[in-house]
Structure 1
Amino acid sequence: MLPHARRVFDGGTDNDMFAWNCLLRGYAREGGDADALHDFFARMPSRDSISWNTVLSWCVANGEYDEAIAVFREMLVSHECQPDRVTLVSVVSATAYLGALALGLWAHAFYVFENAAVKMSLDTWNAMLAGFTANGCSARALELFTRMESKGLVPNKITFNSVLNACSHGGLVDEGIRYFERMSRVYGIEPDIAHYGCMVDLFSRAGLFEKAAEIIQIMPMGPDASMLKALLGACRTHKNLQLGKKAGHRLIEAAPNDHAGYVLLSNIYALDGNWGGVHKVRKLMLDHGVLKIPGSSSVELNGVILLTLHKCC
């Protein structure tokens, strides 16, 4: 039946959303041809909640749980429609199988949030902002912040921490500057170390190291380990080796028991071809009795989430 339906569909000149969704559901019911389903879904000129939910349900039904989470995140970023009950049932099911507790809890919170009759709790809005930010949906987080303001809610420090993080992760430099200024000018909130850290991260990710240095200089407090770690990581990415070495040594001074500073600084020296520097950093690490924490990965076996540790190299 499906090949006949596809021929009729391809022969049509004005297929509407109903026709597209009918054929998409046909591919989903067939169950076997994942490529055909995803290809057809990708070709849709526009998609509504039925379209997204069809693919999500197919992913869960066929054990493609990672793919279900990826589709859900794509849905959030696409702005085509809001998740509904059917969406979130699929997402919670996928996260349950994967053991992704944090995402599952957030999906459940989103469900409750969007269906609540009264949304007056600032804590609830802050939780949703943090969820969007953690899932890489920076634009959605900023949209939610605008909705929050339109409801007359007054943001607090936690709100702006999520907003600035969203700007940082989304590479939204101008927006980040604007929100940082509004925080004190409009709402009278003095930035703390976390807000300054977001700005350093924002500028560092964008390769704007002069602006990052300016923020560190104007802060009423010294940089903490998290801020230096963000700066050092960006220096490695953008190959700003001179600044990276300075930030690395400051990070080790600030957090001598944290293995990350030694590893990042060692990487900076390696990028510079300075193997003597690499050796000195590794010796310093050993002298301080600091060990690199083994990496880990989650593995599902017979429905049970196991934790496999990998040796350090």
Structure 2
Amino acid sequence: MKIMRLGDVGNEQPAVLVPSVDGTDRCFSLLPITRDVDGAFLASGGLDKARKALEAGELPEIMDAHSLRIGSPVARPGSVVGIGMNYAAHAAESGAEPPTIPVVFLKPSNTVTGPCDPAPMPPRSTQYDWEVELGIVIGREASYLRSTDEAASCIAGYVTANDFSEREYQLPGAAGQWTKGKSLPGSTPLGPWLVPAEEIDGGNLRLRSWVNGEPRQDSTSAELIFDAATLVHHCSQYMRLEPGDVILTGTPQGVALSGRFPYLQPGDVVEVEVEGLGRQRQELFRTPAASTAQPA
């Protein structure tokens, strides 16, 4: 079962995608059971309700689903939590030692966008970078959890994510800060779909990225330094995670920061994919600088 949100920005409808072996995938509306795929839906056992409604034939088919925009599979999260340098090889290419405890930062929830929406670059950006990541979607409140087993039970499912990052804004020098480099509009594409945790092995998924069709990253979530349950448990000691929140688990090696590839330019096309969770495609464009002219 693959949970989606389809439609124009701000007017998405919740849906479930049913794959078929012959390629004739079908989408069914979840409107009979929920207004949206959000924290309230997840906390109330919405994924189980969706499965039962689908099996009972209670959901109407969306006949024009293929023509609709795909939104983030989770309506605007309360929190987007990022994890830095969670692959040893990526830490090395960043010039850092692998962390012994998770590196945690926050991204504004207004950075979340659909998986194939055009991707804006800042007006003066020169070091815009891509990062394919496995995203964790929280299904119930997590605060001061006692164990990783308890943490695992708080995971509703997983999504594909791209954590676009402006390295000049992020890294030390000229007041660089992680928050500055990770908070830009449209910098957190999620989706195309959410897969329930019990239907996929989040600890062994292939992650890949491409720029203009050329391979960049190719790794697996088995190489995470801190796995999904460990991250949920750790974060719960420092913040309250709520249903619908998203944790980005970190990116593997193969980004522009390594020096092996050029940074992104307007017109570039970035594709990222996590096995079983779908592929994204973003075309980069330059956001125009605000006018400094005074009104007449």
Short-chain TM bin = under 0.3
Higher normalized helix content (fraction of residues): 1
Higher normalized strand content (fraction of residues): 2
- Which of structures 1 and 2 has the bigger CA Rg? 1
**Which structure's relative contact order is higher, taking Cα pairs within 8 Å and 6+ residues apart?**
2
